[in-house]
């Protein structure tokens, strides 16, 4: 990545790259311009509608749109599959939203959603991508919509998201149809080969999410969706891989959240700034090649958005602690399932 200059090479004849060219090269490696442009097409109209209607639910709808777009682009999905994905998001969100007042039921259903998100790999490894992008928006919105508002206001907010959601589906399907015609290729209907070891990751995810949801409900943790999201996100394979994922998330939160908070302190509260920060945070879900960069910037923009909205007090501590707690639940669940599985294997082999 960095040029190494030998002392035996004459510096006068050494080719130098202008700083602007260096910056362009870095940006081209880090930013997925194709995905970013399509995400702007999908999310941009919702941000514009938020300015016109002053309806916060329209900003939350952007998460539904991006959650549809990510698997559609990665897996080259046809509109019919995108529509099924859309219905799965709405059904899961509705179930979790309605169950939220009954805390034990909410914890159980959230764990079930986490289990199903991974269990789909039994029929094809790429179902994990679809499952993740059902679980994430459903859990996030079920918590976000009810945060700090009355039951009637939460119901109205959820209704706006559901009624407006066909717009997100139409935009994503339109992009897929346009891209398919442009490249003159057929959409993919394959979800990869079935995963042999699907049950243990699914079980670990369910355990981690249940523990996270139970803690959130018992302690009434603010922004509890981050705990549940982090618990599921860390379960990516064996203990070593899960530990690596938690390290990336921890670094992203420890760097991004305080910087966003400090930037917000230097700027005045602003509805425009809030909308732009939310838009930027949503775009980080799809626009960066390296996970740690995207997650760090997402933490930055979420903290910045909270500052613009006047609610940044304690935001740094909440986000960082929630990420670490959720990730720890994920690691513990992976470790427990691995230990139990090894014991089962040891017992079965001698008898074989």
Distance CA 54, CA 309 (A): 14
265-316 per-position pLDDT tens digit: 888 888 888 889 989 999 999 999 899 999 999 999 988 988 887 765 556 6
Which residues fall within 8 angstroms of residue 103, CB to CB, at 6 or more apart?
217, 218
Q: Are the C-beta atoms of 108 and 172 separated by less than 8 Å?
A: no
Q: Are the C-beta atoms of 251 and 292 separated by less than 8 Å?
A: yes
Q: What is the pLDDT of residue 184?
A: 63
What's the rounded mean pLDDT across residues 12-27?
Answer: 59
pLDDT classification of 69: cutoffs 50, 70, 90: very high
What the block records as the tokens of 293 is 């960069």
122-157 per-position pLDDT tens digit: 999 989 999 999 999 999 999 989 887 888 999 999
What's the rounded mean pLDDT across residues 78-107?
Answer: 95
Residue 295: half-sphere exposure toward Cβ, Cα within 13 Å: 22
What's the rounded mean pLDDT across residues 36-53?
Answer: 89
- Give percent above pLDDT 70 in the chain: 87
56 phi, psi to nearest 5 deg: -65, -30
pTM comes to 0.87
Look at 185 and 161; give whichever has higher pLDDT: 161
Of 99, 350, 131, 348, nearest to 235 by C-alpha is 131
- Cα–Cα separations (whole angstroms), residue 318 to 218, 263, 332: 16, 17, 21
Q: What is the pLDDT of residue 345?
A: 63
Residue 160, pLDDT above cutoff 90: yes
């Amino acid at each position: 990545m960095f040029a190494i200059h030998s002392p035996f090479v004459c510096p006068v004849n050494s080719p130098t790259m202008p700083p602007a060219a260096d910056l362009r090269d870095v940006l081209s490696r880090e930013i997925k311009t194709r995905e970013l442009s399509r995400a702007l097409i999908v999310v941009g109209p919702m941000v514009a509608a938020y300015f016109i209607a002053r309806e916060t639910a329209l900003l939350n709808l952007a998460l539904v749109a991006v959650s549809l777009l990510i698997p559609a682009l990665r897996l080259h999905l046809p509109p019919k599959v995108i529509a099924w994905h859309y219905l799965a998001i709405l059904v899961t969100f509705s179930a979790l939203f309605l169950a939220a007042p009954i805390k034990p039921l909410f914890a159980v259903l959230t764990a079930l959603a986490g289990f199903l998100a991974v269990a789909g790999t039994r029929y094809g490894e790429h179902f994990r991508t679809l499952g993740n992008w059902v679980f994430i928006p459903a859990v996030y919105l079920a918590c976000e919509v009810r945060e700090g508002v009355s039951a009637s206001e939460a119901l109205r907010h959820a209704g706006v998201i559901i009624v407006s959601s066909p717009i997100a589906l139409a935009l994503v399907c339109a992009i897929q149809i346009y891209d398919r015609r442009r490249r003159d290729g057929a959409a993919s209907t394959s979800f990869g080969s079935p995963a042999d070891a699907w049950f243990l990751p699914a079980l670990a995810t369910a355990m981690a999410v249940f523990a996270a949801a139970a803690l959130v409900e018992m302690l009434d943790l603010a922004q509890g969706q981050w705990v549940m999201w982090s618990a599921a996100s860390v379960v990516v394979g064996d203990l070593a891989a899960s530990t690596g994922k938690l390290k990336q998330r921890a670094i992203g939160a420890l760097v991004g959240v305080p910087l966003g908070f400090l930037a917000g302190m230097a700027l005045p509260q602003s509805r425009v700034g809030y909308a732009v920060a939310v838009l930027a945070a949503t775009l980080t879900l799809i626009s960066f090649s390296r996970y740690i960069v995207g997650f760090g910037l997402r933490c930055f923009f979420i903290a910045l958005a909270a500052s613009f909205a006047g609610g940044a007090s304690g935001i740094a501590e909440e986000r960082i602690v929630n990420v670490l707690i959720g990730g720890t639940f994920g690691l513990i669940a992976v470790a427990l399932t691995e230990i139990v599985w090894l014991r089962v294997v040891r017992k079965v082999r001698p008898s074989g």
